[in-house]
Structure 1
Amino acid sequence: MKLALAFLLLILFVAPIAYSQKSNDVYVDKGGVMRWGNTKEEVKGFGVNYTVPFAYAYRVAKQLNVSPEKAIDDDVYHFSRLGFDLYRVHVWDTEISDTLGNLLENEHLRLLDYALKKMKDRGIRFVLTPIAYWGNGWPEKDEKTPGFSRKYGKAACLTNPDAIKAQQNYLYQFLNHVNPYTGVAYKNEPDLIAFEISNEPQHGGRASDVTAFINGMVGSMRKTGCAKPVFYNISHSIHLAQGYFDADIQGGTFQWYPTGLQAKHEIMGNLLPNVDDYKIPFAANPRFKQMAKIVYEFDAADVGRSYIYPAMARSFRTAGMQLATHFAYDPTYFAYANTEYDTHYMNLIYTPQKALSLKIASEVFHNIPLYKDFGKFPADTSFGDFRVSYGQDLAEMVTKDKFIYTNHTTTVPENTEALEHISGSGNSTVVKYEGTGAYFLDKLEKGVWRMEVLPDAIWVQDPFGYNSLDKVLAVINWRQWPMSVRVPDLGDDFEIRPLNKGNDAKIFNTKNQTFNITPGAYMLVKKGASNKLTSASKWKNITLNEFVAPATTLEKTYVLHSPVKEVSAGEDVRVKVQIVSLKQPEAARIKLLVKGVKPVDLALEHTGGYQYAGTIPAEFLKGDVVNYCILVRENGIEKQYPSEQENIKDWNNEVDKLFETHILPKSSPINLFSAAADHEQLLRPYLKTSRLNPVPEMGTSELSIYPEKAEQYAMRYNFKNNIAGRKSDVLSKTKLVFHGRALNEKPCTIELVLIGKDGSVYGATLNVKPESSAYAMLLADLKKTDFISLPRPYPGFLPYSINTTPEAGKLDLSNIETLQIVLLPAQTAGQNQKPLAGIAIQNVTLE
């Protein structure tokens, strides 16, 4: 009897752990690698953060009368098309708890459960961070939420005994919560890989206090019987790193914002050096080597181009990261305004090329071996089956069976007959397409493919500025475009059948692999091939007839054009224009307005898609400035842009706005940076004492820079657009000139640096006196120097400067596009740094 009772007790004790192990089949081995228990294979995952169940995203759904469930359905479908298999969210505990840490069964928790179920249905696993510490307001004011985080705040939550008790209570209840859509508690959920205790805790005090805090939280979680790996953020408060290493956790979480946050404009220039290496300062620590590593958040914030994410994924894998989630995916229903996190922008519909870049990054995570090192920039721009190119704004993956690209590419897959998946934007050697949306082609069986074509997305304003729901940053347009698909498996002629509901296209046959197409999902069937697939057939994690895209939001014609700022006299000016309209305009032209001369009409040629181009001949570039407008005829009505006026009779007096380009002699200085015009685009650490001040006697302004610390202070500005009309004159210049002065009656030393689009960096030092003057250095004296990582990244322990220039290289003036200015500390005889004197910058020129 006693033996039977003992056996029963043993079963009762062991059963929860055994079930948990069966449900959570992940363990961390002695080498710090998460592995699947049944196969011992490395755990890999890549995806996004996504917030519809909570806070601002939830409120906007209600404000716009959008069903959160429908929004989740739609976006999770897009996750599946982008190859994501991981989801992470820092749960807004402040919305689903009370001050004692009791879990509240409310709408927010239900929607989280719903989202997790939808992720599971698509084969997407997840990492949950139960405690965020955030209020729920951003980017608005916090609401009066019921949770412990609102009562105590983040700082007190890490030290106050009552707050700590509330968190332990909350974690216990959170892990025991049963998802009503699955019938399984979080602690046992087989697709929940791991828990991260809290989001970005910033500890003070002693390392032993940190260890005690973490262990208290872990103890509460383990009391539930959960055996899943528990992670803790160790990229904050790294001076207390030993406290993390001594705690009962199986891994550490990291973030990466290599271009800083909140620039309030799109950051331009080659940023591949910024993501060359994810260097962890305590990587050699023996205990850290035993810990698994995941990336809970990352993004190249304020970067609108598509080349950078696979390079970030490569650097993560080299650093030993197994899971990574981008921050943050914009819910489609308000992605037009990018208001949730305006320094980030990611959505398959509204940022198709960036989304495809993230798709390729997912492939990097799943195919590049852990800790594999591909060398340093620029050697690591090609790695494995992947390539990134700043110059082409291109990321691509080419394998035997997959071809994925973010922009026009001339790469030829080794064997197109073996391809089974193609996705991209723009033109390739396999697909030609004039629209701007993403497209996907998947081989279903021999001679049968599924094609999905998304509508056009066009950014009509910089999406990284000061945004609101009333401000349209991007528009969607459903236009029919020519397309060709050259896949040997389909042959020269194949049938195209619409699949998605509401697609009223008729079944039609191609001619020489070319056809016109509107957005939708289609089945492509080789002539003579037979198949039993229907629109309702399941394939992998989708149904063939699924298609999600917002309707056309384009309500007017946009003419998007940035005139060349300055042009050299005697040279033609190339004018490139994007005309975004519901259908192709009947006509488009340039109206050139030259003072004292009858207006001149110049042709605009349609070069493909929404793109037009024309030329202003050198013979019309007389005087100091040239003004012009763009005329677009639609439905028999001609409008002038940028003013959008109609029926202009007197061109010299009735036009409100014009495009303007300044004409300069070829011998005149080339302006690289002007404080008055360019200071808002200058990338630099924030200084509360910095000011732009007028200099009336010189008819200009100067930007004062006075750092508070006795250390280097660096700034960077991309002048590509400033010199676009004077490239032919750059090669004739011999001097780099700083116009300005030193502040506070103290001389100072600066380093002026020119950075090429290939990442090469050349500079020299210059002594600047308190007198306002032109301080020149010979271009021939510029030497190889370091690329400074600007904006400064998060976390702050990442490298300050990077060597990106080949040893045998030399300055190529035809390549330059970025200016770096470094204010250097003064040195005493003992080499101790003195406080910086500061500088006032007026402009920097080539002369």
Structure 2
Amino acid sequence: MKLAITFLVFIFFVTPVAYSQKSNDVYVDKDGVMRWGNTKEEVKGFGVNYTVPFAYAYRVAKQLNVSPEKAIDDDVYHFSRLGFDLYRVHVWDTEISDTLGNLLVNEHLKLLDYALKKMKDRGIKFVLTPIAYWGNGWPEKDEKTPGFSRKYGKAACLTNPDAIKAQQNYLYQFLNHVNPYTGIAYKNEPDLIAFEISNEPQHGGKASDVTAFINGMVSSMRKTGCKKPVFYNISHSIHLAQGYFDADIQGGTFQWYPTGLQAKHEIMGNLLPNVDDYKIPFAANPRFKQMAKIVYEFDAADVGRSYIYPAMARSFRTAGMQLATHFAYDPTFFAYANTEYDTHYMNLIYTPQKALSLKIASEVFHNIPLYKDFGKFPADTSFGNFRVSYGQDLAEMVTKEKFIYTNHTATIPSNPGALEHISGSGNSSVVKYEGTGAYFLDKLDNGVWRLEVLPDAIWVQDPFGYNSLDKVLAVVNWRQWPMSVRLPDLGDDFEIRPLNKGNDTKSFKTKNQTFNITPGAYLLVKKGVSGKMTASSKWKNITLNEFVAPATTLKKTYVLNSPLKEISAGEDVRVKVQIVSLKQPEAAHMKLFVKGEKPVDLALEHTGGYSYSGTIPPEFLKGDAVKYCILVKENGVEKSYPSEQENTKDLNNEQENLFEIRILPKSSPVTLFSAAADHEQLLRPYLKTSRLNTIPEMGTSELGIQPEKAEDYAMRYNFKNNIAGRTSDIPTKTKLVFHGRALNEKPCTIQLALIGKDGSVYGATLNVKPESSAYAVLLEDLKKVDFISLPRPYPGFLPYSLNTTPEPGKLDLMNIETLQIVIFPTQTADQNQKLLAGIAIRSVTLE
């Protein structure tokens, strides 16, 4: 109560901002397109969901003694650098309402108001979803909150008369709420584009009941005098779609999680086919065509690479979406741990390449025409001014004025002299940089540019696993790195002046476009140009001296090395290592342990940034395995990794704590999948009865897979790392072999298929018997089959499979990287009846 009174006093003394504008409220035209009231121009927007005012993010701020307002300030600045102009949040009504639906003026509401004001100051507009139905606990237990959602729960909120009355009361008060930072009620806020009534309602009953429910909510909102478009989620309970179409709403909201949720590990492989098309089953409905369409949430969950978001944005525009917000941006102050939504990971500091991909996706939304179709995969990997490449882990945009890229690129802009903005990670024809953080270059005037360089971010663990605030997944490091900027507008010689507070770099002049740089904001001024800009100058939606980044969090040196699983005897082995340290080590090398011989020292070459590499010659590849450690010397002290031991003279006693690679004869099978080693990485729909069982007599394990329904059941496993050391042996193999058996004492039919890096799929069916054996198909007999969308996407109405293989085509064994397995139900004599089928799988090999 004291908090509420204090905040009311605060409202009273804040001078309200006068609300006066010609109506620029968005309206929806007869073709279902949102337009601005004044200009009639199409509404376009792209951004993120962000939750610091509520629930878990709010609690973590308090736990870590972080000011939520400061956190919002910092992150919204980053939103501006990423070109976002849209914000969406499902408001935790359970924290700002009572059981009757009365609005509670408390710190959560105050922080929402504050966030909206900060968004406005940066030119970011918003869509608000007043009702979430969620408890406030995730990923922890729900607290005892005062709201109607906690009392009734989501299901009852959709049917209980008292719950419905409470929601209508709440919506009326929410829209009438005056933001004390702006003096404007939500219903009149010019930067609030639209309202979405609630987050992911899941209706039962009849379509007419759904219509009545929605219309009751809309009526309470319209009683406030609000004329803004009202949206409703129509991607859930689509069997009741007519109920949505008959309701008094102006548009529908959609979601997209094309790689499922909660894999608990990073998903690998070419996932561009998964985002080839956002196909809406009721797209031809005449009433639906009159409705505007927005995306309230999307992400390629559990995907750590940077190529995919612009492709998703392209598919959204083809489907008619005008607004989209990614779910969800990690607040920087605890993004190191990725604990809020561990299946997602997005932050400019900690996931710079993914964030740049989202920046390019925003450009897609603003530049690709609505409903524009670019064909099917792989033709649609280049579209307009955009390109995505799985093989290069690259998304890029190249126009006359802008050059944006997520990774090293060989693309050369047609006229570098006309560029006005560059942002990227890695090296390009314009910028060379050895650090891992993002950088931004903006032309302020002729011969005057602003450079912003963010600190290095390094993932030291898979960020999509089981996370906690005590577990460090990513570290930040402020290191000085060489950079070169090749812009005709700056010439060969220019001056570099620090801008941001605390940047103690002295102004200096560079020659030949190359210099050393530490994180910060800088002015680059061409020789002979005076430059009138100062640190406090305003430019677009930022001030030139703004810079936000956490201090170095690197507490120790990390040696990151993923050894090859298997290698072929008689061949060189390339070892790649990242040595993540505060400064470059004094020395680094490998020590090799060969059975029956003295340890051997091998050189490591520094190849740039944190990267090192070395080669193990074939004469040292003896026996059935090779073991090695990495020795790093810093401050005169040498440590061994992975043991992190200082006493490197006694390494023979560390044989159990070394990197290890199995050595196999070239003639031995190439293992694509082993149930014992790889079952946790197998992508498949969840089965509660699936178990890994040991087979003592065989010295291995088998994974039992019994589908719960008599329908196709598909799985996928990316074996790229399994075969990386055996690539030269693969062309000699002639058979694809399944090792296992059928369950239930009945034979069954499965499909084995190999997916290439380019998304092509070649497979064949096998009849598997109850006897445990090896079931083989000749590689030359593999034929073109469908690419199955795995993991299964949300919403569930999206396509199950698609054709990604060129015609005519042929399997390229040097291109393969993923295994696809489908279990088919058993067909009975009655064509209308199918029976459950299952398998126990030990491995799949090339022989």
* Secondary structure class of the residue paired with 1:721: helix
Q: Which residue of 1 aligns with 2:299?
A: 299
Q: Which residue of 1 aligns with 2:794?
A: 794
* Bigger mean CA deviation after superposition, 48-57 or 648-657: 648-657
Normalization by structure 2: what TM-score?
0.97
Mapped contact 1:495–1:509 kept (Cα < 8 A): yes
2:410 and 2:802 map into 1 onto residues whose CA distance is: 31
2:649 and 2:581 map into 1 onto residues whose CA distance is: 25
Matched, 1:408 2:404: no
Q: Write out per-residue CA displacement over residues 66-93 of structure 1, whole angstroms, 9 at most, x where no aligned residue.
A: 0000000000000000000000000000
Deviation at 1:655, TM superposition (A): 4.7
Q: Write out per-residue CA displacement over residues 292-331 of structure 1, whole angstroms, 9 at most, x where no aligned residue.
A: 0000000000000000000000000000000000000000
Once the two structures are superposed, the pairs formed by residues 105-254 of structure 1 within 5 Å of their partners are: 105-254=105-254
* Secondary structure class of the residue paired with 1:95: helix
1:24 and 1:525 map into 2 onto residues whose CA distance is: 41
* Secondary structure class of the residue paired with 1:728: coil
Once the two structures are superposed, the pairs formed by residues 51-62 of structure 1 within 5 Å of their partners are: 51-62=51-62
Q: Which residue of 1 aligns with 2:451?
A: 451
* Secondary structure class of the residue paired with 1:808: coil
Q: Which residue of 1 aligns with 2:271?
A: 271
Amino acid at match of 2:813: L
2:23 and 2:152 map into 1 onto residues whose CA distance is: 35
CA gap 1:512/1:730 in 2 versus in 1, 3 angstroms? same
Amino acid at match of 2:827: Q
Once the two structures are superposed, the pairs formed by residues 675-690 of structure 1 within 5 Å of their partners are: 675-690=675-690
Amino acid at match of 1:600: V
* Secondary structure class of the residue paired with 1:118: helix
Q: Write out per-residue CA displacement over residues 158-215 of structure 1, whole angstroms, 9 at most, x where no aligned residue.
A: 0000000000000000000000000000000000000000000000000000000000
Matched, 1:696 2:720: no
1:518 and 1:831 map into 2 onto residues whose CA distance is: 70
Deviation at 1:829, TM superposition (A): 3.6
1:363 and 1:180 map into 2 onto residues whose CA distance is: 33
Q: Which residue of 1 aligns with 2:434?
A: 434
Deviation at 1:649, TM superposition (A): 2.5
1:260 and 1:821 map into 2 onto residues whose CA distance is: 18
Amino acid at match of 2:544: L
Q: Which residue of 1 aligns with 2:342?
A: 342
Deviation at 1:573, TM superposition (A): 0.5
Mapped contact 2:194–2:229 kept (Cα < 8 A): yes
Q: Which residue of 2 aligns with 1:551?
A: 551
* Secondary structure class of the residue paired with 1:650: helix
2:205 and 2:603 map into 1 onto residues whose CA distance is: 70
Amino acid at match of 2:747: P
CA gap 1:523/1:190 in 2 versus in 1, 3 angstroms? same
1:655 and 1:274 map into 2 onto residues whose CA distance is: 44
Q: Which residue of 2 aligns with 1:507?
A: 507
Q: Which residue of 2 aligns with 1:3?
A: none
Q: Which residue of 1 aligns with 2:603?
A: 603
Deviation at 1:837, TM superposition (A): 2.0
1:22 and 1:169 map into 2 onto residues whose CA distance is: 29
* Secondary structure class of the residue paired with 2:571: coil
Deviation at 1:596, TM superposition (A): 1.4
1:499 and 1:708 map into 2 onto residues whose CA distance is: 62
Amino acid at match of 1:589: H
* Secondary structure class of the residue paired with 2:154: helix
Q: Which residue of 1 aligns with 2:665?
A: 665
2:777 and 2:531 map into 1 onto residues whose CA distance is: 72
Mapped contact 1:21–1:227 kept (Cα < 8 A): no
1:48 and 1:315 map into 2 onto residues whose CA distance is: 18
Amino acid at match of 1:541: N
Amino acid at match of 1:456: D
Deviation at 1:835, TM superposition (A): 1.9
* Secondary structure class of the residue paired with 1:698: coil
2:800 and 2:262 map into 1 onto residues whose CA distance is: 19
Amino acid at match of 1:686: Y
Amino acid at match of 1:243: G
Amino acid at match of 1:549: A
Spell out structure 1 runs of 4+ moving beyond 3 A. 19-24
1:578 and 1:110 map into 2 onto residues whose CA distance is: 45
Deviation at 1:24, TM superposition (A): 4.6
Mapped contact 1:84–1:359 kept (Cα < 8 A): yes
Mapped contact 1:113–1:179 kept (Cα < 8 A): yes
1:465 and 1:170 map into 2 onto residues whose CA distance is: 38
* Secondary structure class of the residue paired with 2:151: helix
2:359 and 2:138 map into 1 onto residues whose CA distance is: 28
Percent of pairs with identical residues:
90
- Count of residue pairs brought into register by the alignment: 829
Q: Which residue of 2 aligns with 1:260?
A: 260
Deviation at 1:37, TM superposition (A): 1.3
Q: Which residue of 1 aligns with 2:392?
A: 392
1:518 and 1:288 map into 2 onto residues whose CA distance is: 53
1:205 and 1:21 map into 2 onto residues whose CA distance is: 43
Q: Which residue of 2 aligns with 1:728?
A: 728
1:708 and 1:141 map into 2 onto residues whose CA distance is: 30
1:414 and 1:507 map into 2 onto residues whose CA distance is: 32
Amino acid at match of 2:256: W
Q: Which residue of 2 aligns with 1:634?
A: 634
1:816 and 1:825 map into 2 onto residues whose CA distance is: 27
* Secondary structure class of the residue paired with 2:396: strand
Deviation at 1:25, TM superposition (A): 2.1
Mapped contact 2:430–2:485 kept (Cα < 8 A): yes
Q: CA RMSD in A?
A: 0.8
Deviation at 1:832, TM superposition (A): 2.8
Mapped contact 2:45–2:86 kept (Cα < 8 A): yes
1:743 and 1:656 map into 2 onto residues whose CA distance is: 38
Once the two structures are superposed, the pairs formed by residues 731-810 of structure 1 within 5 Å of their partners are: 731-810=731-810
Deviation at 1:830, TM superposition (A): 4.3
Mapped contact 1:825–1:833 kept (Cα < 8 A): no
Matched, 1:646 2:655: no
Deviation at 1:595, TM superposition (A): 1.6
Matched, 1:705 2:705: yes
2:671 and 2:24 map into 1 onto residues whose CA distance is: 61
Q: Write out per-residue CA displacement over residues 665-709 of structure 1, whole angstroms, 9 at most, x where no aligned residue.
A: 000000000000000000000000100001111110000000110
1:618 and 1:787 map into 2 onto residues whose CA distance is: 39
Deviation at 1:531, TM superposition (A): 2.0
Matched, 1:474 2:474: yes
Q: Write out per-residue CA displacement over residues 733-789 of structure 1, whole angstroms, 9 at most, x where no aligned residue.
A: 000000000001000000000000000000000000000000000000000000000
Q: Write out per-residue CA displacement over residues 405-463 of structure 1, whole angstroms, 9 at most, x where no aligned residue.
A: 00000000010000000000000000000000000000001000000000000000000
Q: Which residue of 2 aligns with 1:34?
A: 34
Normalization by structure 1: what TM-score?
0.97
1:832 and 1:261 map into 2 onto residues whose CA distance is: 33
Mapped contact 2:448–2:526 kept (Cα < 8 A): yes
Deviation at 1:808, TM superposition (A): 1.3
* Secondary structure class of the residue paired with 1:820: strand
Q: Which residue of 2 aligns with 1:836?
A: 836
2:21 and 2:763 map into 1 onto residues whose CA distance is: 59
Deviation at 1:21, TM superposition (A): 8.9
Q: Which residue of 2 aligns with 1:586?
A: 586
Mapped contact 1:599–1:651 kept (Cα < 8 A): no
Deviation at 1:20, TM superposition (A): 9.9
CA gap 1:480/1:833 in 2 versus in 1, 3 angstroms? farther
Deviation at 1:656, TM superposition (A): 4.7
2:516 and 2:36 map into 1 onto residues whose CA distance is: 47
Q: Which residue of 1 aligns with 2:316?
A: 316
* Secondary structure class of the residue paired with 2:702: strand
1:170 and 1:540 map into 2 onto residues whose CA distance is: 37
* Secondary structure class of the residue paired with 2:809: coil
Structure 2, gaps ≥5 residues long: 1-18
Q: Which residue of 2 aligns with 1:10?
A: none
* Secondary structure class of the residue paired with 2:653: coil
Amino acid at match of 1:315: S
Q: Which residue of 2 aligns with 1:624?
A: 624
Amino acid at match of 1:445: D
* Secondary structure class of the residue paired with 1:165: helix
* Bigger mean CA deviation after superposition, 822-831 or 603-612: 822-831
* Secondary structure class of the residue paired with 1:218: helix
